[in-house]
Structure 1
Amino acid sequence: MSHRPRAATRPRKGIAAIVVTVLVLAAGGWYYAQRNAAAETGTWRTVEVEEGDIRVAISATGTLSAISTVVVGSQISGQVTEVLADFNDRVEQGQVIARIDPSTYQAQIEQGSAQIASARAGLDQAQANLRNAELDHARKAELGERRLVARSDVDLARAALDQARAQVASAEAQINQQSASTRTARINLERTVIRSPVEGVVLTRTIEPGQTVAASLQAPELFTIAEDLSKMKIELAVDEADIGQVQSGQGVSFTADAFPDQQFRGVVDQVRLSATNTSNVVTYPVVVTVDNSEGTLLPGLTVNAEIEVSRRDGVLKVSNAALRYKPTAAEGASPAMPAGGARGGVTGDLRREAAVLELSPAQQAAFDEAVAAVEARQQARRAAPPAGANGGPGPGVTVVRGGGPSGAMASQLRQRMLQRYREDFATFRASLDETQAQRWDAAIAGLVGATRAVVYRLADGRPEPVLVRIGATDGTATEVSGGLQAGDLLITGERAAR
């Protein structure tokens, strides 16, 4: 009875030992595999290719103001007797908003009226003298013909007649002068009533009753009236480095410190040419129109605005760090460019552009024939590369890195390649209709003139060069196309060996 428990215990201990051994081996294998995987993936720092939106915006500051602001002044001097409009008052066109003491001009009118009456009396006297001189001259002229009076008397009578006529003309001129002076006084009397020239809102008022205004050199400013606050404008100061991207019609989003939780929208209305140089910083004024129908925004607010110069929706984008990465030979991670260049290239892009043209079978055949001829020529060129060449991205491509062509040389290269591709695809283009031909021409010009860069995709633990076409950038991410898909891992750096 005492030996049975021992016999039963030995097999159980053996099984337990086997299970423990298997678990230890499995744990060790898992740890080894994880360590190797960590060592493999930990060699590179990567980012994922994403599909999303790229919004390119230019930041600037400015001040809100009414689109039309009218400064109301006074054309005459005098003491203000009444002020009938105050800050923020809404006024109608022609509404009386102030009055100036009119007594001075009323006295001038009375004085002018008296002078006119005096001048008219003088005219009556001059006309009477004229009639007398005419009669005297007529009598003496008749007597002179009969030689009954001396000729000198006739001449004196003629001179007296001319003098009388001159006195009448002088009296008439004096009446006109006094009448004009009186009209001026009446106009000035009307100007003692200050009226609003427009319908709007009073922004500022600089006068008080009893204050004296002097209009000797320039019209004093009494009121500032905003014609319509339902539509406002912002004058932004845009740096000269960014002004080339700004055009009328572009959208603008902005915020104001007075309303930190709200974002407002506007539209670029005008890019003015009057540059301002402040401490060697050149800026250009950009006028943005804003809808303020709700009356939220106030004149004079400082705003922080972003001008949306470009927007790309639903595109592939990568971190800019992936575009800056270049493998180091010390890590053995500087793969040579494969024959035919990195994945992608102009012909690959042309295939994608042609795919959206909805080509007929005959058009597709003409396209395939042209592409085959281009690729054959490129293959022949790569078969005998120049000394020290590694293969490259192909002709007509400007690569961001590696000291490629730039400036005038790059421009000439693009022009030659554009002409070459036009010749290569001339037969294919002739088969297109007008709409297809326009889209094809735009695609050719855009692809040949595009800037490209080599990025490195992590494939099977090794960097694989891929040539991509660079599009819009927001400073953090950049649009890319050609040879990449969403989810690909691009290398941004190498981890230090441990």
Structure 2
Amino acid sequence: MADAETLPQDEASDASADGRQSARRTWLYRLGALVIVAALVWGVYYLLFGRNHVGTDNAYVNAEMAQVTPLVSAQAIDVRVTDTQPVRKGDLLVRLDPTNAQIAIAQAEADLAEARRRFRQTGATSQSLSAQVVARDADIVQARAALQSAQADYEKARVDLQRREALVGEGAVSGEELTAARKAFASAQAALAQARAGVSTAQATRNAATGQLEANDALVRGSTVETDPSVLAAKARLRSAKLDLERTIIRAPIDGVVTKRQVQVGQRVAQGSPIMTIVPLDKVYVDANFKEKQLRGVRVGMPAKVTSDLYGGDVVYHGKVVGFAGGTGSSMSLIPAQNATGNWIKVVQRLPLRIELDPKELKAHPLRVGLSMDVELDLSDR
């Protein structure tokens, strides 16, 4: 009886073991089939899609931000904007104290009036010097006439002296008369020399007057009261002063959102020091860092699909590659990697690409600088 009961139990256990092995084989077959199907699906995906697409999640929003810097140093008397405030190009941002600029304009206007007056004075001086030259010409004529008279007196005195000296031997001329003739000749000779000196003096005076006239004419020749160099320089200073006054009104250079405002009412701002930044949200782009092996087939102009963590995968931006960076991120870092050492280990480098986005999509779903993005490039358009 015991042997009869044991036999059915052994057969039951063997049947159970066979069932478990059969079930295990079934699951193994199913798992193998699933792996094969997955491999086939992946192969088809790679052949039809995967090999023509590369992607990265190492991408961030960036923009050509405008730094607002005052062009004059002055005290801020009115600040019209705050951080996160949207502005349009030309909107008033900050007003600076215009007092110094207004004083500079008044000084420049006075300098301009003085320059015009000096030019008119120089022109009047030329007329006066021209009259003096004419007067010096008359002096020369007068001096030459005096010289001719002195020459005539000299010749008469010389002839009289010669006659009297010729009659001395005959006793026809007294010693007193001879002495008077000699004295008259000496006086005529001195008068002739003085007349010659007078002509030379008149000519020299006339030459000096001519030189002064030419020098004064050189200051006004070819110019008018509005084209004189000193007047033009005064006008330039006036324009500069007016420009400084205009620069006390600081306006938005572009459309965007105010960020990093660093100016307060009453603060004295320095020329060239940034007081705020404006981010153009309608012109942002994406800097995507791709591994160097991913870039073998990438070309400028290729289409790109971009998604943002801000909106999720439901919002897809369409863009295109517009350029490659001039160097990898590590080479452009503050402390570049030194790979010449003996313990160098190769590290896959990433090269930034710039992706330009569709403005209409940006307007519908605005982005902010620094947001993380996922970028996928379509290589099938090579």
TM normalised by structure 2 equals 0.62
Corresponding residue to 2:58 among 61, 64, 69: 61
Corresponding residue to 1:152 among 204, 207, 211: 204
State the Cα distance separating 1:238 from its structure 2 match.
Answer: 1.6
Question: 1:226 corresponds to which residue?
Answer: 279
- Confirm or deny that 1:100 pairs with 2:170: no
Partners of 2:306 and 2:206 in 1: how far apart? 94
Corresponding residue to 2:372 among 302, 311, 322: 302
- Whether the 8 Å CA contact 2:95–2:250 is kept in 1: the answer is yes
State the Cα distance separating 1:178 from its structure 2 match.
Answer: 1.8
> Gapped runs of 5+ residues in structure 2?
1-7, 146-198, 331-336, 340-346
Amino acid at match of 2:304: G
Instruction: Give a deviation string over 1:451-490, Cα, whole Å, max 9, x none.
Output: xxxxxxxxxxxxxxxxxxxxxxxxxxxxxxxxxxxxxxxx
Partners of 1:245 and 1:192 in 2: how far apart? 52
- Give the 3 Å change call, closer, same or farther, for CA 297–159 of structure 1 in structure 2: closer
Corresponding residue to 1:164 among 206, 216, 221: 216
Amino acid at match of 1:293: K
The 5 A counterparts of 1:464-479 are none
- Whether the 8 Å CA contact 1:96–1:194 is kept in 2: the answer is yes
Amino acid at match of 2:78: E
- Give the 3 Å change call, closer, same or farther, for CA 32–97 of structure 1 in structure 2: closer
Partners of 2:326 and 2:69 in 1: how far apart? 28
- Give the 3 Å change call, closer, same or farther, for CA 36–252 of structure 1 in structure 2: closer
- Whether the 8 Å CA contact 2:302–2:378 is kept in 1: the answer is no
- Whether the 8 Å CA contact 2:303–2:320 is kept in 1: the answer is yes
- Whether the 8 Å CA contact 2:116–2:231 is kept in 1: the answer is yes
Query: If each structure's helix is expressed as a fraction of its own residues, which one has the higher value?
Result: 2
Instruction: Give a deviation string over 1:322-370, Cα, whole Å, max 9, x none.
Output: xxxxxxxxxxxxxxxxxxxxxxxxxxxxxxxxxxxxxxxxxxxxxxxxx
Partners of 2:20 and 2:260 in 1: how far apart? 78
Partners of 1:241 and 1:231 in 2: how far apart? 30
SS of aligned partner of 2:59: strand
- Give the 3 Å change call, closer, same or farther, for CA 173–45 of structure 1 in structure 2: closer
SS of aligned partner of 2:367: coil
Partners of 1:32 and 1:164 in 2: how far apart? 127
- Which has the higher Rg, Structure 1 or Structure 2? 2
The 5 A counterparts of 1:277-292 are 277-278=329-330, 279=337, 282-290=349-357, 291-292=361-362
Corresponding residue to 2:258 among 202, 210, 214: 202
State percent identity of aligned pairs: 22
User: May I ask how many residue pairs the two structures share in their alignment?
Assistant: 281
State the Cα distance separating 1:272 from its structure 2 match.
Answer: 0.9
- Give the 3 Å change call, closer, same or farther, for CA 292–143 of structure 1 in structure 2: same
- Whether the 8 Å CA contact 1:266–1:288 is kept in 2: the answer is no
The 5 A counterparts of 1:219-258 are 219-227=272-280, 229-230=281-282, 232-247=284-299, 248-256=301-309, 258=310
- Confirm or deny that 1:190 pairs with 2:246: yes
Instruction: Give a deviation string over 1:271-294, Cα, whole Å, max 9, x none.
Output: 314112524653221112343223
- Give the 3 Å change call, closer, same or farther, for CA 251–92 of structure 1 in structure 2: closer
- Give the 3 Å change call, closer, same or farther, for CA 191–154 of structure 1 in structure 2: same
- Give the 3 Å change call, closer, same or farther, for CA 302–31 of structure 1 in structure 2: closer
- Whether the 8 Å CA contact 2:256–2:282 is kept in 1: the answer is no
Partners of 1:196 and 1:213 in 2: how far apart? 17
The 5 A counterparts of 1:11-410 are 31=18, 38=25, 47-49=35-37, 50-51=40-41, 53-54=45-46, 55-56=49-50, 57-66=54-63, 68-144=64-140, 147-148=144-145, 149=199, 150-166=202-218, 168=220, 172-215=228-271, 219-227=272-280, 229-230=281-282, 232-247=284-299, 248-256=301-309, 258-259=310-311, 264-278=316-330, 279=337, 282-290=349-357, 291-303=361-373, 305-309=374-378
Partners of 1:33 and 1:206 in 2: how far apart? 76
State the Cα distance separating 1:103 from its structure 2 match.
Answer: 0.9
Partners of 1:45 and 1:198 in 2: how far apart? 62
SS of aligned partner of 2:293: coil
- Whether the 8 Å CA contact 1:77–1:212 is kept in 2: the answer is yes
> Gapped runs of 5+ residues in structure 1?
1-20, 312-498
State the Cα distance separating 1:186 from its structure 2 match.
Answer: 0.8
Amino acid at match of 1:130: S
Using CA pairs under 8 Å that are at least 6 residues apart, name the structure with larger relative contact order, 1 or 2: 2
Question: 1:432 corresponds to which residue?
Answer: none
